[in-house]
Structure 1
Amino acid sequence: MYTLVTDTTCSFTYDPKNNTHTARYKTGTTFKLVYFYNSGYDAVASTEFKVE
């Protein structure tokens, strides 16, 4: 998902009503978010998060 970074902060919203891949996003699953810069060529940050 593409998002705009402003003042070192970005956000995105996941709406389950718009989910076309329901098997991918399950409660209790851990995901990794990776921030790519320079048109997606440089991975500069990452973090893991859990869907609750």
Structure 2
Amino acid sequence: MPLHAPQGGRRDFASLCSMQPSRYGVVVDEEVSDEAAGLIGGLQTTGGGPART
């Protein structure tokens, strides 16, 4: 018997089409940190707060 059967066939969760992270973390070696900051600074973002360098 499915677990949702006692609830009349209803499920207590909503389906999601996809999951998208709200932010990313980037870890680089100190030797390439300036280059990484420059590359990240050149990316366009769709929000999420200020860029950190």
Q: TM-score range by the shorter chain?
A: under 0.3
- The alignment's TM-score, normalised by the length of structure 2, stands at 0.27
Larger relative strand fraction: 1
Higher Cα radius of gyration: 2
- The alignment's TM-score, normalised by the length of structure 1, stands at 0.27
Larger relative helix fraction: 2
